[in-house]
Amino acid sequence: MATEQNNIVRDVVQRLNHLPTRSIARYLLSIHGGMFENNLERARSAVRYVRGESGVEKREKNPMIIPAEKQDMPDTWRRVTTPYDLPAGKYLFIMDAHIPFHERTPLEAALKYGLKRKVDGIVMNGDMQDCSALSFWKSVIRKDFMKEVLVFLEFLDYLRQMFPKENIVYKPGNHEYRLPRYFAERCPELVETPLVAMETLLDFEGRGIEFLDYHQLIMAGELPVVHGHEFRTITSSVNPARGLFLRANSWALCGHLHRTSEHTDTNIKDTYLTAWSVGCLCDLHPDYSPFGSKWNWGCAIVTIDDKGNFEVENKRILHGGKVV
């Protein structure tokens, strides 16, 4: 056996010694197939030789469970994501517009309300895009992702014209996550390529929009903000805000559930802990749930002072466009 091949086989056997010989041979073929002419029996013979299962009869078997050389702790694949801290100021929070299946009346009303309140910035807290063309759900609606993108670009330009100097932050939700998931399933080698990234596709940098990482936590002072899908489930037996509180065990604000609600509880130190869920800005009766969704339109104003204290105004938007 050639030295290079022998070293590779020894290393693999050393790491996978608990597996059957044939399984190790299959693994070798998957990563070093050319070295064995893509022949399973050649790879199996090499593994058997290293394990002492063939060759000279008196040759001692070396289980090689523990390597002789000192091993270093392997590097972790875990990705560390730090929270995004909003600076002190007054912010309009909008979410769940699901463009191009948005409703113009509440979306325009929310933005005009932000202007009226003279906010310092806009936070788009997930699912502003629907990305229905990338969904695995069957739909009678035609799938045309690029047309969806063009509609969303029109919205971004409209938003930036309305708020030319204000900070705009975009936290992606589970619907925006459909794009990287699409590439992960169909073309995994491109999933980390900048050319297919959401922020590149929509040129957030050119529009002065801060695009956050998927699943990144927003801290509005001491208030944690999530889209809502980051928790596997947020039960809403009473209301979504109570479900969020039971999962977060903290002050918290989310969207995702398309309903305006509030829940307050106290801890052992008599600290008031309130959780809020914010209403949506999309079609209240989509084709997959035409009746009984219990959704409502809404937005929120969050004010943060220099010490991290916050105030939440969770607003509903009526069918005529009035913010209450």
Per-residue pLDDT of 66-100, as tens digits, reads: 677 888 998 998 888 899 999 999 999 999 999 99
Q: In what order do the strands lie in the sheet with 209-211?
A: 209-211, 167-171, 121-125, 89-94, 298-304, 310-316
Residue 3 is predicted with a pLDDT of 78
Peptide bond into 20 cis (omega under 30): no
Find out if CATH 3.60.21 is the number for domain 84-316. Answer: yes
Phi, psi dihedral angles at 85 (to 5 degrees): -95, 120
Please, what's the b/e burial string for 102-117 (b: 16 or more CB within 10 A of its CB; e: otherwise)?
Answer: bbeebbbbbbebbeee
Distance CA 206, CA 43 (A): 53
Predicted confidence at residue 71, as pLDDT, reads: 85
What's the token pair of residue 265?
A: 């509880």
Q: How far is it, in rounded angstroms, from Cα 57 to Cα 131? A: 64
Q: Among 229, 281, 262, 284, which residue's Cα sits nearest to residue 114?
A: 281
Contact 25, 47 (CB under 8 A): yes
Which residues of the chain, if any, have pLDDT below 70?
1-2, 54-66, 136-142, 182-197, 199, 236, 292
pLDDT of residue 58: 46
Q: In angstroms, rounded to a whole number, what is the distance separating the alpha carbons of residues 237 and 294? A: 13
Domain ranges, ordered by start, for the chain: 1-75, 84-316
User: What pLDDT does residue 117 have?
Assistant: 97
Give pLDDT, residue 291: 78
- pTM, two decimals, is 0.78
Closest residue by Cα to residue 89 from 162, 204, 168, 206? 168
Dist CA 114 CA 120 (whole Å): 9
Q: What is the pLDDT of residue 32?
A: 87
Cα-based distances in Å from 55 to 8, 45, 59, 186: 19, 10, 7, 45
